[in-house]
Structures are given as C-alpha cells and as structure tokens.
C-alpha cells in the first residue's frame, strides 16, 4: 500500500488507453481512479487489470439512488476488491447508512466516501438547483451527515478541507479533486487548489486527472507534482 496522497484519474474511453497510462505509473507511488466513462465502456475487466498491475483502485461511480438500489450497487462494487468507492451525500442518511451496511466494516472493506458538492459547482449552479445558504456551510452539513451515517470520509473541494478538518477531526478522510498545479488551466473545475495548498489544508488524497493525463509528458507532470509536495 502506497503512502502517496495522489490518485490519478484514469478518465479514458478504453481499457487499452487507460492501461497505456497505468503502465507508466508506479503502484508504489500513486493510486488510480476509474470513473463512469471507462467503467461503462469496459466494465469490471478494468478493475481486474489494474489490480493485476498492483494498483489500489478508487471506483468513482457516485451512486445516488434509493437506499436499496445503492446498497446493492455498493455490495457489487465491494465484491470487485476495490480500495475506495463513493456515493452522493445528497442521497441522504438512509441511503448512506444502507451503503455502509452493504459495504460492511471489515478491515479489508473499501473506504466508503460521500461526495458533497462537486468541485465543478460554482455559486450560480448551487443556486440554479435550488440550494441556498453558503457553499462551505452546505459542504460541512453534508460531511457531518456522512460521518453520522457511518461513512469513512467525503469528497470535497480542497477549499473546504481546513473547515472540515476542524469540524470533523483529522481521522475523517478528505478526498479532494479539482487539484490544479500553479499556472494550469481549470477546465470545468471551479473550486480548485494547488497540490501543496490542498495537502496543507488537510486533504488526505488528491484526485488529479487532466493535469497529468492531458500533459505532453504525463510522467513528468506527475513527478513535478510529487516534487511540489516536498
């Protein structure tokens, strides 16, 4: 098991392109994330291939449905032997509790993480969908609900990490996408932070996709991020 906080998002359209990148990575220096596009196209074979290469895998399917459906999906995901999976906290405590029951609490159970507000969400989108109040306060409320429902942590913006660490303690796992090295483009992310600032704010894991996978030299991009962390 690596001690690196970096999770590389393998947002690719095929098993072969995902493995082409994974084969350049070192499972002792990062974990990998499989999301909706890759999993929908290639299915569990992706997970098995990455496990065979020694990677711990975050299966990011962000389940959000009625409690029974989410529980069964989480059980199916856990059966793949993954390291981490996620559900949407906006599904509520009954849904998250059902997910916890399905995944179990054995030492080899995957980490169960709740997505709070997406890092692509800005104030306008927050208002557009009928949410009110301030965004950090809403993230904190959803994270507290996740903790009370038995989840191991949340996905949030690194901009909210220090607030959540103070409110929920250092043990509660903070997984932060929307990571952008200094001077890199934000793409569709709105609530971003640099890798070092994210770690200093209390992030346990940094999810990084395009700044690595879209770079001319992905390995050099990863090495520069590692170096920036000291």
Catalytically active residues, by annotation = 60, 62, 65
Interface residue with ligand OMP, options 122, 187, 197, 224 (CB under 6 A)? 187
Residues 105-164 touching ligand OMP, rule: CB under 6 A, are 115, 118-119, 155
Nearest distance from residue 175's CB to ligand OMP, in Å? 7
Q: Please list, residue by residue across 160-171, b when 16 or more beta carbons sit within 10 angstroms of its beta carbon and e when fewer do.
A: bbebbbeebeee
Q: According to the binding rule CB under 6 A, does residue 206 interact with ligand OMP?
A: no
- Is the CB of residue 21 less than 8 Å from the CB of residue 12? yes
Does the annotation place 62 within a ligand binding site? yes
Structural element, H or E, at residue 34: strand 31-34
Q: According to the binding rule CB under 6 A, does residue 98 interact with ligand OMP?
A: no
- Beta-carbon contacts of residue 177 (< 8 Å; ≥ 6 apart): 9, 119, 155, 157, 189, 206, 207, 208, 209
Nearer to ligand OMP, 193 or 207 (CB): 207
Between CA 114 and CA 60 the distance in angstroms is: 11
Residue span binding ligand OMP (CB under 6 A) among the ranges 20-28, 143-151, 206-214, 222-230: 206-214
Q: Which residues are near ligand OMP by CB under 6 A?
A: 9, 11, 35, 60, 62, 86, 115, 118-119, 155, 177-178, 187, 189, 207-211
């Amino acid at each position: 098991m690596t001690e690196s906080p970096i999770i590389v998002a393998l947002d690719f359209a095929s098993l072969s392109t995902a493995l082409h990148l994974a084969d350049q990575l070192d499972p002792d220096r990062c974990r990998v994330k499989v999301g909706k596009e890759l999993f929908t196209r290639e299915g569990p074979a992706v997970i098995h291939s990455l496990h065979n290469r020694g990677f711990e895998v975050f299966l990011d399917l962000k389940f959000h449905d009625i409690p029974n459906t989410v529980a069964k999906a989480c059980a199916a995901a856990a059966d793949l032997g993954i390291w981490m999976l996620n559900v949407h906290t906006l599904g509520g405590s009954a849904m998250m509790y059902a997910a916890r029951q399905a995944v179990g609490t054995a030492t080899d159970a995957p980490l169960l993480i709740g997505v709070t507000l997406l890092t692509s969400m800005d104030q306008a989108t927050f208002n557009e969908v009928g949410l009110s109040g301030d965004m950090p306060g809403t993230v904190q409320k959803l994270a507290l609900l996740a903790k009370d429902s038995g989840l191991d942590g949340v996905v949030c913006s690194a901009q909210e990490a220090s607030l959540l660490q103070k409110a929920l303690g250092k043990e509660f796992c903070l997984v932060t996408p929307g990571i952008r090295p200094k001077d890199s483009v934000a793409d569709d992310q709105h609530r971003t932070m640099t890798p070092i600032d994210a770690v200093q704010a209390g992030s346990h894991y940094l999810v990084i996709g395009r700044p690595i996978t879209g770079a001319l030299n992905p390995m050099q991009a990863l090495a520069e991020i590692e170096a920036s962390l000291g």
